[in-house]
Amino acid sequence: MTTKWVIANWKMNHLRAEASAFCEAFRADYKARPGVEAGIAPSFPLLPGVISQTETTGAKVFGQNAHWEPKGAFTGAVSMAQLKDAGCHGVILGHSERRQFFNETDDSLVKKLQAAWEFDLLPVLCIGETLTQRDAGFTLDVLRQQLSVLERTGHGPLVVAYEPVWAIGTGRRADATQIEEVHAFIREDLWLTFGDAGREIPILYGGSVTPDNFEEILRIPHVAGGLVGGASLEAGKFLRLLKQAQESN
């Protein structure tokens, strides 16, 4: 059984008081069960509070990005070493918002993946096509290209998240057929790159996941959970998503 993940990607949301209230509610109600991992990815200033407040719950805390260099003259950047030192379990890499607004490239992702492994962080590599690319019939070519960074990195623990760009924050999620086709393609690609180890890499779906559609998404082959933005900002919804993941096992 592949572990299922529900990872809350808070993006640039929540002030300390809101994050603290979330963690209080989460801590009061979350019951960890084998086979499901809860992840929370807050912005950097919130990390210490979220890490200390969720310590007893077993939830894993993730950075939303990090630089590949361990330290140095990179004003405004945060290193993998610093994330690890803060108590993070992993780091989201290659989110489409990073690719779109911050010029994230495949070359930088190769270095970031290697740095994450060097500092014992679990990377969540995000991939996904834009609507123009999907409409032009290039979805699988785009994903193949984005996955090809893994041929240059060597091996390490990994989670992949398929997030069609047109489904992120739009309320328009991919349908079951689209998700099934893409997840099967990703599984095959990971198997070609990593051999049998590629069969065990969790592949998450992300893009307008809510408690209303998650049960259906979880039933699709090769879907090992969700990377969730908007619906993860409220503890109640995040807890419901985790319960659905637990019940799907």
Where along the sequence are the contacts to ligand PGA (CB under 6 A)? 9, 163, 168-169, 206-209, 227-231
Minimum Å gap between C-beta 68 and ligand PGA is: 22
Minimum Å gap between C-beta 166 and ligand PGA is: 10
Q: Which residue number, 98 or 112, has a Cβ lying nearer to ligand PGA?
A: 98
Considering the candidates 37, 163, 183, 222, report the single residue annotated as catalytic: 163
Say how far apart CA 223 and CA 79 lie, in whole Å: 30
Considering the candidates 14, 89, 95, 222, report the single residue annotated as catalytic: 95
Q: Is the dihedral of CA 190, 191, 195, 199 positive or negative?
A: positive
Q: Which residue number, 80 or 231, has a Cβ lying nearer to ligand PGA?
A: 231
Minimum Å gap between C-beta 206 and ligand PGA is: 4
216 is known as an active-site residue? no
Say how far apart CA 62 and CA 220 lie, in whole Å: 25
Spatial contact of 61 and 89, defined as CB atoms under 8 Å apart: yes
Say how far apart CA 127 and CA 144 lie, in whole Å: 9
163 is known as an active-site residue? yes
Burial of 119 (0-12, 13-18, 19+ CB in 10 A): middle
Residues with catalytic function: 95, 163
